Amino acid sequence: MRTGAGIVVLLVAWTAPLPGQLNEGRYYLRTLPAVRIHGIDGEQSSLHQLLEESPVLLTLVSARCTGLCSPYMHSLVEAIGIPRGFRVVVLSFDPRDRVEELRSFARRVGAEALQGWWWGIPKREDLPALLEALGYRLRFSPERGEFDHTLALAVLDQRGNILRRIEGWQAVRYLRSAVREAQGEFVLSYPLPGYDVALRCFEVDKDSGTVRLSWGMGLLVVPPALSLLLGGVLHGLCARARKRRAT
C-alpha cells in the first residue's frame, strides 16, 4: 500500500510544473470583467460590446514603452494582418496614456487603420480588475519612468471567457493555433517550451495540428504486449510438456 502511494506521489511530482514555470491553464474559462473603453477613433465602447460581434484576441501595451511593446506589436501585426472571423483588441495598461498617444503608437506599428483591429484605453477604475483577471504583472520603474510588465495574448470567446492565454513571445510562435481557436475550431493542446510533461503520450505540432505518438505511449503499450507474448510462450511450453507426459 505504501509502495503504491509512493509511486503516485512520484508521478505527481514528476509531472507537476517546476517553480517559475508558466501555469497558463489556471486562466482557462476565467471570465473577464466589464470594462469600459475609449477607442482611439473617439468611440465609447466596452469589452463585452466588442465581444458581441466576434471572438477577440486581446493584448495590452503601453504607448510610452521603449522596450518590448513595439517589436511585440510589430510581430503580431505582421503575423495576423487583417483578421478573419475574429477581432484584435489592443488596450493600454498604462493609466498615463492618452488617446492621441495610443493612436500614434498604433500608427508606428502599422495598425492604426488596419481593418479588424480596435485600439482603446480602459476606464481607469476598470483597469485593476482587468489586469487581475488576465494575470498581468506591472511594476513601475521610477528610474526609467515606465512599467516593467507582462507580455500576453488572450483568446476570448463571445461570452468573455479566456480560452487560451499565451505569455511572452510564445504569443507570436503559437499565434496560428490561437487564431484557429478564436474562430471556433477545436485545437489540441501542446506543451509550452520548458513546460514539457515527461510522461505524455502524444505530441502535437503547434502549427499544423499533426498528432504523433510520444515515448510515453510506449509505457502504456509495451508492458501489456510483453505480458501477452510471455503468456503465449509459457502456454506453448506448458502444452508441449503435457503432450510429452501423455505420450
Q: Is the confidence at residue 177, as pLDDT, over 50?
A: yes
DSSP secondary structure of 100-119: HHHHHHHHHTT-TT-TTEEE
| DSSP-derived secondary structure letter, 244 | H
For residue 152, pLDDT over 70 is answered with yes
Top-ranked range on mean pLDDT: pick from 11-15, 34-38, 164-168: 34-38
HSE-up of residue 165 (Cα within 13 Å, Cβ side): 23
Look up the pTM and report it: 0.67
Nearest to 28 by CA among 203, 189, 164: 164
Determine contact, residues 39/123, Cβ cutoff 8 Å.
no
CA 102 – CA 23 distance, rounded (Å): 31
**Domains, the chain, with CATH or none:** 21-187 (3.40.30.10)
**Whole-angstrom distance, CA of residue 192 vs CA of residue 138:** 23
Looking at residues 56-75, what average pLDDT do you find? 93
Name the region of 160 (left: φ>0; alpha: ψ -120 to 50; beta: rest).
left
SS3 131: helix
Q: Of 242, 222, 224, give the one whose Cα is nearest residue 232.
A: 224
Write down the number of H helices and E strands in the chain: 8, 11
Question: Residues 81, 113: contact at Cβ < 8 Å?
Answer: no
Q: How far apart are CA 202 and CA 219, in angstroms?
A: 12
> Do residues 118 and 34 touch, judged by C-beta distance below 8 A?
no
How far, in Å, CA of 180 to CA of 198, rounded?
27
Identify which of 20-34, 63-77, 94-108, 196-210 has the greatest average pLDDT. 94-108
- Rounded to an integer, the average pLDDT of 10-34 is 59
Quick check: 212 pLDDT over 90? no
